[in-house]
Structure 1
Amino acid sequence: MGLIVDNFAGGGGASVGIEQAMGRPIDIAINHDPEATAMHMVNHPKTRHYTEDVWEIDPVKVCGGQPVDLAWFSPDCKHFSKAKGGKPKSKKIRGLAWVAIRWAVMVRPSVIILENVEEFKTWGPLDDDGNIIDGRKGETFHSFVEQLKNLGYKVDYQELVACDFGAPTTRKRFFLVARSDGKEIIWPKKTHGPGLKPYKTAASIINWNLPCPSIFDTTEDIKEKYGIRAVRPLAQNTMNRIARGLKKFVMDNPKPYIVDGKHTPFMTAIGQTGFTADRSYGCNEPIRTIVSKAEQCLIMPTLIQYHTETQKDEVRGQNIDEPIMTIDSNPRYGLVTAFIQKYFGGGYTGAGSKMDDPLGTVTAVDHNSLCLAYLIKYYGQGIGQPANNPMGTITSKERFGLVTVHGIDYCIVDIGMRMLTPRELFNAQGFPPDYIIDHDINGKKLSKSTQVARCGNAVPPAFSRALVMANCNNKVVGVAV
């Protein structure tokens, strides 16, 4: 039985998937960051860990003469990623992938798998200012592939999307597989999507029991009500994004997402520059790419049923620009709708995304929030009905903030927003729910920003599980998950 080695192991995402596929722990994990290694150690205690620069590791020495079945490589991707924009690149960081050639020469793993962003294929030389030379894009990448082939490896590469393999995120990644054992390279078949198992969605990773404070409350109000800290007032750009998401995913959406008959949230994100496309989405979609900062937000507008008090169908209640009434557990607060808001700054004009799609890519900075809209019924000519019915179509009446559920009108009376928690983001990446993220092997507590960074830099385990099961099934010794 040969060794399994995870280079650039980080907090352990690739290792989780490999272990699920192989039915046994990985043997060696290598990472330069002590904090990342400490998180890896607490979750993978049977693995031998090296907190060192990958170039300082001697593959022959650490492997002790044993054969290597699998060597996994996830070199730093940010100096290839389009998310970095036009900033100068680092030749040193972009050259980290060459360590795979070092392993191929010195210990000749049977299978090599390399993961990176899709732009990895454009790997080429830089000018003296650290900028990509346009006419030479892909030159270094092709040299890298040719070197593997010259060493006797079969080489192939593709791009895969995590939600196609059971993770609730749309994270897209480039994968290169190289084999020296004479066997064919196999690309895993999709398990989720149209005609297959349904996608796991953003809604599936949300803890709906956590408070989602009103965007109209002050920081002091929120502290008094919930005992938590929240930034208020929100920036005008943030409010604009919430408004766009509210219109798209609640007011103009014929089928807003409702959780447990109460919630129809949407998601949005903050922070990262360089994006001008629609970054909000519904909770019924896979979550978008998770980065290493907190970006994902949940938006929850409150819709309250209208009660007609005059012949002109005026409402009992309040306007959205007035102080918000207390929202309690009374049944009159029938529906809560939601979407994901994503904060990327830089003139972002998107509306967010739905809850019944996978979440987008999780990054190393927290940019994602949950938005909730609270609804109360409007009693006009229609007949009242239980509040746990599905959300219906939007009426064509010219009344701002009015939503129709099976012919019954609701008005928006409050909008809540909170950032997604580190646990929710790890769930979105597809980590096991019991994966330890809040402390390391030494018992040291990890800050939320550190947890999010570990998550955003992680490989969704669904990727490594699918690839390893397809290409290393003859090496499985336990029961693959």
Structure 2
Amino acid sequence: MGLIIDNFAGGGGASEGIEQAMGRPVDIAINHDPGAIAMHKVNHPHTKHYCESVWDVDPIKACEGRPVDLAWFSPDCTHFSKAKGGKPKDKNIRGLAWVAVKWAMQVRPTVIILENVEEFKTWGPLGDDNQPDKNKTGETFNSFVEQLKIIGYQVEFRELISADYGAPTKRKRFFMVSRCDGLPISWPTKSHGPRNSKEVAMGILKPYTPVSDVLDFSKPCPSIFDTKQQIKEKHGLHTVRPLADKTMERIARGIKKFIMENPDPFFIEDQTSMLIQYHSETLSHEVRGQKINEPIMTIDGSPRYGLIQAFVCKHYGGTYNGAGSDLDDPLSTVTAIDHNALITSHIIQMNNHMIGTDSRDPVNTIVAGPGHLGEVRAFLIKYYGQGIGQDLKEPCGTVVSHDRFGLVTVCGTDYQIIDIGMRMLDPRELFTANGFPPDYIIDYDSDGKKITKTEQVKRCGNAVPPVFARELVLANVVEVERTMAS
């Protein structure tokens, strides 16, 4: 039984997936960051850890003459990613992937798997301005692939989406699989798909895992209209208030798109919900947000995801079966800064003066007041003027009234938005959205030292969703071993 090596191991996403597939610990994990190694060590205590540059580790000495079944590489992606924008690139960081060739030449792993952003295929020389030379796009990448082939490896690569394999995140990544034993390279078969797809309807695929499955709706979601002092008194929380105008604008756009104009808004305990991201706008000025019945988008290392809840009052009775921000779908990619906020809504019945429940209260708890109806109306008018909303003709769809601000009609029943709450997603929600098991240790390290929330989010955003490693290793290592054993 050969060794399993995890280069650029980080907090342990790839190792977690590899161990899920192999049923045994990763043998060696390498990373230059002491904090990342400390989180890796507490979750993978049977692994030998090297806290140093991947270039400083001698593969021959580390392996001590034992064969290597699998070597995994996740070199830094920031100097390839389009998310870095026009910032200068570092050729040394862009060249980290060459360490895979070093391992291939010195200890010849049977299988090599490399993970990166999709732009990795554009790897080429930098110009004098430290920007990629557009005339030489992909030259270095092609040389890298050719070098692996010269030393006897088959090489295949493609892009995969983690939601296709059951994770509640839509992280898209480039993968290169190389092997030198003459056996064919295998790619995992999709198990999940969009909930409205034909394959799901026919029972061929399971529906995408929704991000709503990983969100804790019992947590307080303070009003965006309350002051810091009011929030401290009501919830005992330290928050940023007032919110920046750009944030308020994003919330307004999200409320309009994902709640007021959504034919099927996510609904839980008299609230409609959505997620927003604290990225800049798209080129087309689209909302940086999403429904909650979808997978989350990419999670990076910054605190960018916020949960928005619009508190809505019900005018005429009836039921509300919708889903406010598609919580039935996976989350977008989780990044190293938490960009996501959960927006929630509060609903009341106006015909008998019943006020519905806040998500942080037990069901049917009576709330003692009309909320922030005036502030909600002023808020919506500020960002959308007098004529917000549009008619949607689908049966049982959501219809926005043009003459009553914040009024939403569902199946013939009117609901009035009376308050809007927002909170950031916490690290546990983000790790679970990225596909980590709920018992993965994220708040303290191998020395018992507390890991700050900022560091937790950073580790999550930089992590490989474990499902990627699990499925690729199952297809290319575990199944091969089973076949050979039989």
Q: TM-score, normalised by structure 1?
A: 0.86
Aligned length: 433
1:305 aligns with 2:314: yes
Q: In the TM superposition, what is the alpha-carbon distance from 1:396 to its structure 2 partner? A: 5.5
Of the candidates 398, 407, 418, which is equivalent to residue 394 of structure 1? 398
Match of 2:117 in 1: 117
Q: Provide the C-alpha distance between the structure 2 equivalents of 1:202 and 1:288, rounded to a whole number of angstroms.
A: 10
CA contact (8 A) 2:103 2:109 kept: yes
Match of 1:327 in 2: none
CA contact (8 A) 1:267 1:371 kept: yes
CA contact (8 A) 1:168 1:358 kept: yes
Q: In the TM superposition, what is the alpha-carbon distance from 1:400 to its structure 2 partner? A: 1.6
1:427 aligns with 2:432: yes
CA contact (8 A) 1:335 1:374 kept: no
Q: In the TM superposition, what is the alpha-carbon distance from 1:202 to its structure 2 partner? A: 1.5
| 1:354 alignment partner, SS class | coil
Residues 210 and 357 of structure 1: CA distance in aligned 2, closer, same or farther (over 3 Å): same
1:225 aligns with 2:234: yes
Match of 1:150 in 2: 150
**What are the residue-to-residue correspondences of 1:290-329 with 2, within 5 Å?**
290-306=299-315
1:407-433 per-residue CA deviation (whole Å, 9 max, x = no partner) reads 221101000000000000001100000
1:87-107 per-residue CA deviation (whole Å, 9 max, x = no partner) reads 110000000000000000000
For structure 1, which segment, 407-416 or 392-401, has the greater mean C-alpha deviation from structure 2 after superposition? 392-401
**What are the residue-to-residue correspondences of 1:45-444 with 2, within 5 Å?**
45-193=45-193, 194=197, 195=199, 196-259=205-268, 261-271=269-279, 276-306=285-315, 354-379=326-351, 392-395=396-399, 397-398=401-402, 399-444=404-449
Q: Percent identity?
A: 59
> For the aligned residues, what is the CA RMSD?
2.3
Q: Which has the higher helix share?
A: 2
Residues 444 and 274 of structure 1: CA distance in aligned 2, closer, same or farther (over 3 Å): farther
Q: Provide the C-alpha distance between the structure 2 equivalents of 1:405 and 1:366, rounded to a whole number of angstroms.
A: 32
Q: Provide the C-alpha distance between the structure 1 equivalents of 2:217 and 2:344, rounded to a whole number of angstroms.
A: 10
| 1:223 alignment partner, SS class | helix
Match of 1:39 in 2: 39
Q: Provide the C-alpha distance between the structure 1 equivalents of 2:412 and 2:48, rounded to a whole number of angstroms.
A: 62
CA contact (8 A) 1:215 1:416 kept: yes
Q: In the TM superposition, what is the alpha-carbon distance from 1:192 to its structure 2 partner? A: 0.4
Where in structure 1 are there 5+ consecutive unaligned residues? 308-331, 340-352
Q: Provide the C-alpha distance between the structure 1 equivalents of 2:85 and 2:282, rounded to a whole number of angstroms.
A: 6
Q: TM-score, normalised by structure 2?
A: 0.85
For structure 1, which segment, 244-253 or 104-113, has the greater mean C-alpha deviation from structure 2 after superposition? 244-253
Residues 35 and 235 of structure 1: CA distance in aligned 2, closer, same or farther (over 3 Å): same
Q: Provide the C-alpha distance between the structure 2 equivalents of 1:362 and 1:108, rounded to a whole number of angstroms.
A: 34
Write the letter of the residue equivalent to 1:428: A
1:470 aligns with 2:475: yes
Structure with higher RCO (Cα < 8 A, 6+ apart): 1
Q: In the TM superposition, what is the alpha-carbon distance from 1:273 to its structure 2 partner? A: 7.5
Q: Provide the C-alpha distance between the structure 2 equivalents of 1:337 and 1:447, rounded to a whole number of angstroms.
A: 36
Q: Provide the C-alpha distance between the structure 1 equivalents of 2:55 and 2:282, rounded to a whole number of angstroms.
A: 32
Q: Provide the C-alpha distance between the structure 2 equivalents of 1:252 and 1:163, rounded to a whole number of angstroms.
A: 26
1:148-171 per-residue CA deviation (whole Å, 9 max, x = no partner) reads 000100000000001001111111
For structure 1, which segment, 64-73 or 297-306, has the greater mean C-alpha deviation from structure 2 after superposition? 297-306
Q: Provide the C-alpha distance between the structure 2 equivalents of 1:6 and 1:273, rounded to a whole number of angstroms.
A: 36
Q: Provide the C-alpha distance between the structure 1 equivalents of 2:128 and 2:39, rounded to a whole number of angstroms.
A: 38
Write the letter of the residue equivalent to 1:106: Q
